[in-house]
Amino acid sequence: MLENLASTCENAGCNRTLQESDCMLVYQTEAGTRRAYECSCGAVTITVTK
Ligand SMILES: [Zn+2]
């Protein structure tokens, strides 16, 4: 599954693996699909997939 890319929290010292259920927002840009994940620590991590 293409969606199954593992991403981790950007917060230094957290490094929690983000789950699909942490994905708060998905939107399309010219650069690709962006997903915003909100970790339980409160940090938001943005990933980009084409
Ligand atoms: Zn975190």
Residue 48 in this model has a pLDDT that exceeds 50: yes
pLDDT tens-digit series, residues 9-41: 999 999 999 999 999 999 999 989 999 999 999
The pLDDT assigned to 6 comes to 72
Show the tokens assigned to 9: 């929290």
Q: Compute the distance from residue 48 Cα to the ligand 1 centre, in Å.
A: 18
Q: Compute the distance from residue 41 Cα to the ligand 1 centre, in Å.
A: 4
The pLDDT assigned to 2 comes to 47
Residues 6 or more apart whose Cβ sits within 8 Å of residue 50: 31, 32, 33
Residue 1 in this model has a pLDDT that exceeds 90: no
Q: Compute the distance from residue 18 Cα to the ligand 1 centre, in Å.
A: 8
Q: Residue ranges of the domains in the chain?
A: 7-49
The pLDDT assigned to 4 comes to 52
Point out which residues pair with 44 in neighbouring strands: 38
